[in-house]
Structure 1
């Protein structure tokens, strides 16, 4: 079992922690706004067995030429497939397309609902009233039915017929 730890070494000289060849006078040039780091992964077991030091290259495809100038005992960690920035960009574009499709679907659904509501308002020329019949009035019936009174507002015509509460349709059942 190994205990692994990672440490970030800043590339800005102000911190005092610099990763470089021992005794070198000039490691690199530093700009004032440089805040980049090198992340190093180190591992060791309780029996004092060391893993190879590894340098982490986040978001980059690892190639051997990245380790030029480092000690031979070091190794690198990166992504085997492709550059993650391209993948992230692709994922963002796909997510954006999905959001746009969802917005269009919701907009279309909203318009359809408005059209259906307008159609229902237009078609509400008939008024329905329900009056319950007791079992005393209709003794030969096994099911509970109700009367449906339909009024046409245009000519005042009234028509009475029975309505079944189970199926909620305004017609006589065939067995009745």
Structure 2
């Protein structure tokens, strides 16, 4: 199953912010391409809303094996509902207000445990605060869907994880193929 989901990964966003291609307070047009921009246009035109986008993302996430280590469903619903209200009022926080985002499980997300793909970290206390990049994108209105799988401690170029499973490349020819890299869950989620 291929993910045709308007879901962004934090690596994509950080690249464009750090290169100065986009500002999270600028609601003008951007050179960023892909489903996220089309989704934002659908929000602006009233053809869709962040709650519908979240529902689609949650349906697809439920069908994907080993892609997410944890989901932030309650938080995501609150964020999507608030975003939908802002779009209805014509006051989005950013061009990507309401777009679902997945976080590699190396980033602290308030209320969830950061496992770094390691079972030994499963019993740690949940993060009290969002990591700076999580907070920045939350303040821009993006909807935090959950945390994606990765190699244990992000220490592999293959994306294997014996504790949480290995995400499988959805575009393979029927043979299970790993998407590779320590961001294997992120790669499959996108």
Indicate whether the TM-score tops 0.5. no
TM-score (norm 1): 0.20
Greater C-alpha radius of gyration: 1
Higher relative contact order (CA 8 A, sep 6+): 2
* TM-score of the pair, normalised by structure 2: 0.19
Structure (1/2) with the larger helix percentage: 2
Structure having the larger proportion of residues in strand: 1
